[in-house]
Chains A and B, each alone.
Chain A
Amino acid sequence: MRGNPLVIEVLAGLGRRGTAELHAFGLLVLLAAVLIVWWPKTGLEQVLESQQAPNTLMAVVIALGIAMSYLALLCGAEEIMLQGQHGLRDWALATPLRPGRILRGYVLGQLLYSLHCLALSLPVLLTAFTISGGEWAALGWCVAAALVQAVFYRLCGAITHLTIGQHRAESRFAVRAILVLVYGPVGLAAPVTSHVAFTSRVLGEDLGSGTALAAAPDNVAFLAAYAGLGMIAALALYWLLTRERLGMAAPPGRDQGSPDGSRAGSK
């Protein structure tokens, strides 16, 4: 992992000032706002009488999932980047790295950035966790879901960037449309893909059995769905990276990006 230059670049960039850090700070402000809004307004005795457990953790985790997905999309579309980080097209066109290695480093880098965001969110998450009566296992499921989902969105963002990245306005619109589309209509039509439904199920109060593991098959289905979608997106990205490299190697006069079947040059 540490030998992958994309990962090293991400590790180096995490400590520096940049738009990505600023956006991570924005994520924290959002979580803090959600925490304040969803903090129990009544006393414990009223909560007990109404039999409505505080939904603070659920709200914070849903917000975390949305914000991390949004950040991943923006990173994928290269609207925001870590200080000193290079774009995916640069790695494909300007280095001899194989597309598979680039892809691995890219996904690992995204995971690192997501973990960084998660670490920054930890005090807020723990504060919400203590009063919401959640369980560690349930929180673990939710965090895993947010991470896997963020990888998928990062790949979607990258695909958008490689396909329509040259049209900035369309690209900006597309990445936001993807987020709204997947969180809205797709989530409603196929609840197994909905992070909101997932979090509600795992952290919601209607979990009568008392353990997050009771809903384990559904949880695995969510992770499997996003892992599967992520694989498809990764294959598409691989193909696009290959096409980019082949397009670079194409003879003058031919359209860039149209593969001719020949092996691309290293630079």
Chain B
Amino acid sequence: MVADGVMVAGQGRCGRPRTCGLRARFQRFAEALLPFALLCVPPPATAASAVEISAVVGFTDTFRPGRWTPLAVTVTNRGSDLSGELEVQVSGGDELRGRRYVTTHRRKLELDRDTRKSLQFTVFPEGLSHPLVVRVHSEGRELARSEIDLRSRFVAERLVLVLSRDANLDYLNDSATGGLRVLYPHPELLPAHWQGYDAVAAVVVHGVFLERLNASQFDALHKWIAQGGIVAVSGGPDYALLRGSRLSALLPAAPAGMTRLSPDALRSAFSASLDVSRPVHVNRLDAVRGRVHLGADATPLIVERTLGLGRVLYLAFDVAAPPFDRWDGMRGLWLDSLRLPPAGRVSLTAEEPTHASPLPSLIAAGPANFPSAATMFFFVALYLGLLLAAYLLPGRALSRWQALARTWGAPLLFAPSAWLLFGPAAFPRDATALTVAVIEPLPDSIYARLELDLGVYATRSGAQRLEYRGAEPVLYPTRRAQRDGNAQDWIFGEGPRRFVEPLDRRRYVLHALEGKDVIAFHLEASVRDETTGPKLVLENDSGRDLRDLWLLFDGYGYELGSVAAGARLERGLARAHGIELGDDAWRRVLRASSHDWTHLASPARIVLDRRLKATAGGGYPAPGRALLIADTASPLQPAGASTDRPRQERALVAFEVAAQEKDK
């Protein structure tokens, strides 16, 4: 029936039964092959799902908006070997206030078949309205995409991270304004950049070996403490965990064993409300190098040490064991011991006060500028004068070649001259990198806080990628641009080769970023106020030369010259040799000094003005403190393809030191 039907249909269409029968056979053959063909060729959907993305925002998938936060992205490749890029797009800004901008964090991604890789980013989710977009692309083709809805993952409170297997500190949770939220992240997922702790008020370590962290994570933790972070370490019977090299470097005391404290001693140390009937074992501490915050008889129970601007506390007892785990007073004890600073404002929003950028004054102070109008005028006048003179020359006696020289000589001479006078040699045509850095060494620390203004501009349109090395700052569009609603879209390359690239490729646009970092910069200084004047001892272990060093103290400025890397300077200074500054402090020094500091709005002055505003009227330097100001090499240097680019940079060391009392 079917064959007949085909035949009939074939006759009707072709009029030649034999041919149509052959066609029907081919058709049946093709129909039989089709399922096999479909099985052999993977559909596009299958190919696309060969790459899978999963992401964890913040700590245990919880973050605080308006704060830097870690983002762990895991990419699984079930297809063929993959070489591409992983990028995270973070939206910022506000459509109502101005234009929304997108910062793209990008990393190289190499994945073999059936492997997975986790990469960590440090991102700044400003709000909740736009999801984070994670993409994997290769050769211009998007292989996978995932959008992370932030609305179900945020908290408004500051975070307390508890690194523990069994401790329960939920009693610290407080949903009031500026309250706390306790989270229990896996140590291996801690931030790899110190700014990832931006939303964190304190970290509690309990029974965890810090050697589990990789080098970047421990470095990030150390830097975070140095710039003001608080870490509390709980003791316990397994005190060997605390004797690891990493914790030993941080702790204010070394555990030397266990000791028993009687219930009475404990109640007198903590509170009468502590429900304890038997002696409790606590760590016996040795080599105490901090302040004893709480003790029972001669046994230190809570010892505290400052590291830079941060603190490390050592609680000699097990906070997760009886009787402390059920004591109502533990919350008060924690808060009293941690002394958390009041909740600060969101750091990078448009509400922040606008600071002038030091980059324009850096450009103005530098050699790159338009050739002067006078030069151009004289050049053109000379050219026209020569042409006119040639025109007025009598032409009859001239040979053909002389006539040609008269006509074409001037343009042939002046065209290359124009290129030489106003061309690339005199005026930059490549993208120029600008860096203004302020390095503030942290007291009693090998680290320094780095505030950075980074700019790039070009006098020609095109890509303006800047590769750099030396520092790993978190970067963001300037607060001024955010406030004015004209922040631009940027690509931030992370990983081994870091780069920044504005997506706006227009010429004559200053693409500016602000950034901050904590860098290794070890400077130790002490200033003793003596009768005749201050006595300064300075050890420069920063690895960089300090140039044009000034000491500002008690209304006087003292010029100290240069201090080479690794050198020690010890000098008694007489007030008679200082410059009387009065309340002006560093402003007068900047004027009196050499270089471009005579410029009214020099980059150095702008960044120090910023610092002064940050003290909120406290003075800079504050009363009773001395300020060391010096020039040094920029910690952020162009690298890779950007090494030979023109650049202008300025790095200022500003070290505020508490002056010791006058000798008695």
Q: Which residues of A contact B (CB under 8 A)?
A: 14-17, 21-22, 25, 28-29, 32, 35-36, 39-41, 43-49, 51-54, 116, 119-120, 122-124, 126-127, 130-131, 133-135, 205, 207-211
Identify whether the interface residues of A are mostly helix, strand, loop, or mixed: helix
Residues of B within 8 A of A25 (CB): 384, 387-388, 391
| B432 CB to nearest A CB, Å | 10
| B26 CB-CB contact with A under 8 Å | no
CA of A36 to CA of B422, assembled, Å: 14
Q: List 17 A-B contacts (CB under 8 A).
A: A15-B403, A16-B395, A25-B391, A29-B384, A35-B376, A36-B380, A40-B370, A49-B360, A119-B408, A122-B411, A123-B418, A126-B423, A127-B421, A130-B371, A130-B422, A211-B461, A211-B462
Residues of B within 8 A of A52 (CB): 508
Interface centre among A25, A120, A123 (most CB of B within 10 A): A123
| A124 CB to nearest B CB, Å | 7
**Interface window among B84-92, B257-265, B499-507:** B499-507
A39-B376 in contact (CB<8A): yes
Contact of A131 among B360, B364, B422 (CB under 8 A): B422
B391-A133 in contact (CB<8A): no
Residues of A within 8 A of B460 (CB): 133-135, 210
CA of A49 to CA of B417, assembled, Å: 30
B508-A205 in contact (CB<8A): yes
B506-A51 in contact (CB<8A): yes
Closest B residue to A32 by CB, please name it: B380
CA of A208 to CA of B507, assembled, Å: 9
Residues of A within 8 A of B368 (CB): 44
| B378 CB to nearest A CB, Å | 11
Contact of A123 among B377, B395, B400, B417 (CB under 8 A): B417
Interface centre among B381, B383, B395, B461 (most CB of A within 10 A): B461
> 0/1 per residue, B359-377, Cβ < 8 Å to A?
1110110001111010011
B422-A48 in contact (CB<8A): no
| B419 CB-CB contact with A under 8 Å | yes
B387-A120 in contact (CB<8A): yes
A48-B457 in contact (CB<8A): yes
A17-B395 in contact (CB<8A): yes
Q: Apart from A205-B506, A208-B504, what 16 extra A-B contacts exist at CB < 8 Å? A: A15-B403, A28-B383, A36-B376, A39-B370, A40-B370, A44-B369, A45-B364, A47-B508, A48-B510, A51-B510, A53-B507, A122-B418, A126-B423, A135-B461, A207-B461, A211-B461
Residues of B within 8 A of A45 (CB): 359-361, 363-364, 510
Residues of A within 8 A of B426 (CB): 130
Contact of A208 among B369, B459, B506 (CB under 8 A): B506
Residues of B within 8 A of A122 (CB): 411, 414-415, 418
B391-A51 in contact (CB<8A): no
Closest A residue to B511 by CB, please name it: A48
| B625 CB-CB contact with A under 8 Å | no
Closest B residue to A15 by CB, please name it: B403
A127-B379 in contact (CB<8A): yes
Residues of B within 8 A of A43 (CB): 363-364, 369-370
CA of A15 to CA of B509, assembled, Å: 45
Contact of B423 among A14, A15, A39, A130 (CB under 8 A): A130
| B600 CB to nearest A CB, Å | 13
B422-A126 in contact (CB<8A): yes
Residues of B within 8 A of A116 (CB): 407
B509-A130 in contact (CB<8A): no
A48-B363 in contact (CB<8A): yes
| B521 CB to nearest A CB, Å | 29
| A33 CB to nearest B CB, Å | 9
Closest B residue to A40 by CB, please name it: B370
Residues of A within 8 A of B379 (CB): 123, 127
Report, nearest first, the 4 A-B pairs whose CB atoms are least far apart.
A210-B461, A53-B508, A123-B414, A48-B510
Residues of B within 8 A of A29 (CB): 384
| A10 CB to nearest B CB, Å | 13
| B469 CB to nearest A CB, Å | 25
| B209 CB-CB contact with A under 8 Å | no
| B270 CB-CB contact with A under 8 Å | no
A15-B388 in contact (CB<8A): no
CA of A40 to CA of B371, assembled, Å: 9
B407-A14 in contact (CB<8A): yes
Residues of A within 8 A of B419 (CB): 126, 130
| A249 CB to nearest B CB, Å | 39
CA of A52 to CA of B506, assembled, Å: 10
> 0/1 per residue, B496-530, Cβ < 8 Å to A?
00000000111111100000000000000000000
